[in-house]
Amino acid sequence: MNISMRFLLALVLCGQVGCGWLGLRDRSNDYLLSEETAPTLVPDDLHSDSLGQIYPIPEISAMTALEPGYEVPRPQPASVNNFEQVVKIQSFEDRNWVLINITPSEVWPRVRSILSRNGIPTSRTNGGTGMIETVWIKFKSDQQQSHRFRFAITPGVQLDSTEVSALHNQVTMGQEDSVNWSDASDNDERERDMLSLMANELATASDYSQVSLLAQNIGGDTKVNIISDESEDHHILIALGFDRCWASVSYSASRGGFTIIDKNRTEGRLLVNFSTPVVEEPGFFQRWFGASKGSDILEYNHQIVLQPVDGNVEVRLLDREGAALSSSDARRLLAVLRSNLS
């Protein structure tokens, strides 16, 4: 046996027997035997600023007292969007954006990488607002105009999602310094082309492990929050206009066990029927002798009310008579409604 084969065999044997062969104890599973220890006591004459909890538990701003006999509800079925990458272009009224079901802190470095790979340098970035502006660029198909884009990366309405919008600006070559950004794109086709490029690049990318730690709150706060305050009824607060909220809530009210029976947009009210989704398939005799699915006439058993308040929209779930639900039912149904918002 030559020297190289002996060396290879020795490496294999070392890998099989582990560190114990060298007289070293394997400590990889020691964490399973760890026990809680008392906090480190620092003398009064010394500073303890450098010491702290390794895994601090944040303070809870609002505590909700549970009702007597409260039972922990079963977890809601996870949406398929949580397990696969979804990228699509959405439109509402005059606004277009790319929707992707990952967090803004993951999208931010990805968008900057896409611009860099396509030879589009950036001139200004703002992680607080989620804004990226490009330099003036020229297209081969347009030798008379200079073009630039402003991208806005904001949290989406869906859970752990991001919306990427683009604003296009153009001017005659040589007059770039005299132009300011407008509220709408100068060329809608250029805007759509850029969003299509962004959507295709985001959809084909498979590695989203890169996260911007300096931009955890990029694009501002989330647009949707469930308010569980004892001083008022439980409700969903959406930081969007009424028209967009109505479309999003109507979409959610037809999923997750909800069925829309009637709606009145003027009053901001939807009459819905909620029934817990049944996973089990009907048995043989039930399929033969049971009533058909279309024979039952659904009646509304809940109301969803949208109310504009200070530029936002509050969404409340009420019972059939318009009375407030119990705290446990309100939290459960609002969580279902919120999980399907789009």
Sorted by where each begins, the domain ranges of the chain are 80-215, 224-277+295-339
Is 80-215 a domain of CATH 3.40.50.150?
no
- pTM comes to 0.66
Q: Which residue has the higher pLDDT, 133 or 142?
A: 133
Cβ atoms 154, 162 nearer than 8 A: yes
Q: Which CATH number fits domain 224-277+295-339: 3.30.2320.50, 3.30.70.270, 3.40.50.300, 3.30.310.170?
A: 3.30.310.170
Q: What is the mean pLDDT of the chain?
A: 81
pLDDT > 60? residue 133: yes
* 3-class SS of residue 200: helix
Question: What share of the chain has pLDDT > 70, as a percent?
Answer: 72
Residue 194: its pLDDT value, please?
95
H or E stretch covering 114: helix 104-117
Residue 34: its pLDDT value, please?
80
Q: Is 80-215's fold the same as 224-277+295-339's? A: no
79-130: per-residue pLDDT in tens? 544 545 688 999 988 889 999 988 888 889 899 999 999 999 999 998 888 8
Torsion angle of the four alpha carbons 277, 283, 289, 295, in this order, in degrees rounded to the nearest 10: 10
CA angle 331, 263, 75 (to 5 degrees): 25
Return the bridge partners of 225, or none.
237
Residue 170: its pLDDT value, please?
93
